[in-house]
Amino acid sequence: MESLKGINIPVIADSVLDPELYYGHKITGIYFQTEDDLFGRITFYNLDALKVCRGEVIPYECDWGVHAPGTWIFKVNNSKWLKERFEYEHENYGSAYEWGGDVSEMLTDFSHYLFSFHDQFIEVVAKGFWFEKDSKSLFGKELQDGHPFLPLPEAPEKKILAYNLTCQVRVNTNHTSDIIANSAYCPQKLFEFALELDGRTSVNNTVIITSHQGKVVSRLRGYLGDLIAEFNGVATLEEVKPHVEKYMSEIYERRKAMGK
């Protein structure tokens, strides 16, 4: 049976005013006013599907007595819609899912979320979501500093030197406990590795912290999102470094064969 589990965030939508849902070339998200007369924005990590419905009654089993006052975001447990989305992806893409990724992540890493507003609700299938708040509308605005979808700050003083190549190590400076707590909402970047080549620097490998059903996992992913290695808990730089150096060795051999 489908049921709702409340998710609490420090931004509470106004209980009367309607939200605006934008999907397009600008930042897809839910834009709304908050209960304290400010402005909020919800953005989605790996958005798969969304829908908007009008109505006063949410069509899922919900024990309102167990939710904190002001709860307006929910996860739909045992979601039929999420299973339908997985079946669609599996049937139509299979091994071609996300550049050769594992389509089963639809069932392990994605969630069905419900955002409840006055007489309407917005439902989303995604890997996670993030929230922002400001004194002015965030529509059309860039993501705020510290948003987990943004690149990590450059740190040219932290480097890996191997195979005559240099790779910058960019580190999430938030406290580990905060990174883990934030991963309950959406995956969080822990490290970014940016290779310096021919006067340019580009991120080629990223370690991302995910938290699903209470389990924290660190995943090293390549440029196209391919999974390179997985670690239980929060990975250390020393654990990840050999994999990055292996990538650097491959780049070195490729460049050597090209006469560079």
Same domain, 21 and 82: yes
**Per the domain annotation, does 92 fall within a domain?**
yes
Per-residue pLDDT tens digits for 194-237: 999 998 999 999 999 999 778 999 999 998 888 999 999 999 99
Which residue in this structure is represented by tokens 């969080």? 188
**Per the domain annotation, does 153 fall within a domain?**
no
The band of 94, judged by pLDDT with boundaries at 50, 70 and 90, is confident
Same domain, 8 and 126: yes
Same domain, 9 and 123: yes
**Per the domain annotation, does 98 fall within a domain?**
yes
**Per the domain annotation, does 143 fall within a domain?**
no
**Per the domain annotation, does 146 fall within a domain?**
no
**Per the domain annotation, does 148 fall within a domain?**
no
Per-residue pLDDT tens digits for 68-90: 778 999 999 999 999 999 999 99
Same domain, 165 and 70: no
Domain that holds residue 190: 159-257
Burial of 66 (0-12, 13-18, 19+ CB in 10 A): exposed
User: What share of the chain in percent tops pLDDT 70?
Assistant: 99
Per-residue pLDDT tens digits for 133-184: 999 999 999 999 999 999 999 877 799 999 999 999 999 999 999 999 999 9
Is the sign of the CA dihedral 150, 110, 76, 88 positive or negative? positive
Same domain, 122 and 164: no
Same domain, 63 and 171: no
The band of 55, judged by pLDDT with boundaries at 50, 70 and 90, is confident
Same domain, 90 and 175: no
The total of structural domains in the chain comes to 2
